[in-house]
Amino acid sequence: MGNDSTPTDDLRLFQTGGHACGYWPERSARDLVLDPRDPRLPDIYPQALDWGFRRSGDLVYRPHCAQCRACVAVRIPVAAFEPDRSQRRCLARNADIQTRIAPARRTAEHFELYQRYLAARHRDGGMDGHGTVEFDQFLVGSWSDTRFVEMRLAGDHGPGRLLAVAVTDRVGRGLSAVYTFFEPELAQRGLGTLAILRQIEWARREGLDHLYLGYWIDGHGKMDYKRRFQPLEAFDGRQWRRFRL
């Protein structure tokens, strides 16, 4: 699948059986999955991101549907990014929120926030029944270099109230935004947007090249926010190109 310092000629790929699409439940989907037992997976992961793959738990996958190419991998070239007016307002509105990059370890505080978020945003969607085991499998993983980007209200005496967590992989020359959950009652703050802006700031501080955002899907309301981060690059199956609105 490519030439780099990690040989991949013998890399095994598996195609899943048909399953309900996570974005369009009425459609059937299939994925390509890298061999989860391959001990090289942590080293292959950066290259896999460049091939349009994504991590979910310990699985690195890419949609591979017979009749659909709606899922487009996108990333932000962080050095070129400039927040637009709406994003600048989001930063100003949340100036009272402090950010800390923490180890990817579940605490009661993380889990309670996650459950509130799922109950509000994914009711009856299959994820709202997640317990601690599913939390660890989905968000922490066993081999990835993962961090929790915690966003808290500034407190006078120690850490303030936890409002959002951006689960983020530090990988190669970039960061990968795995999943974000936040306080659902504070939708007016734009915490999802703030999470991406703070991840961009982290990538810039470390001189990294890209923030990978996973998949954008044309016409899907929950994915449309990604194209507001410009410039944006999209993977066309062979190479990354400037995303054209």
- The pLDDT tens digits of the residues spanning 30-62 come to 999 999 999 999 999 999 999 999 999 999 999
Please state which of the ranges 17-21, 91-95, 197-201 shows the lowest mean pLDDT.
17-21
In this prediction, residue 105 carries a pLDDT of 95
Mean pLDDT of 176-199: 97
Confidence of residue 126 (pLDDT cuts 50, 70, 90): low
Q: How far apart are CA 136 and CA 147, in angstroms?
A: 13
- The pLDDT tens digits of the residues spanning 142-187 come to 899 999 999 999 876 667 999 999 999 999 999 999 999 999 999 8
Give the torsion sign (CA, 142, 145, 151, 154): positive
- The pLDDT tens digits of the residues spanning 76-109 come to 999 999 999 999 999 999 999 999 999 999 999 9
Structural domains of the chain, with CATH: 13-69 (no CATH), 75-242 (3.40.630.30)
Higher per-residue confidence, 77 vs 218: 77
Mean pLDDT of 209-222: 93
| CA-only gyration radius of the chain, Å | 18
List Cβ neighbours of 199 (8 Å cut-off, separation of 6 or more). 149, 166, 168, 175, 177, 211
Q: Which amino acid is at 36?
A: P
List Cβ neighbours of 207 (8 Å cut-off, separation of 6 or more). none
pTM of the predicted model as reported, rounded to 2 decimal places: 0.91
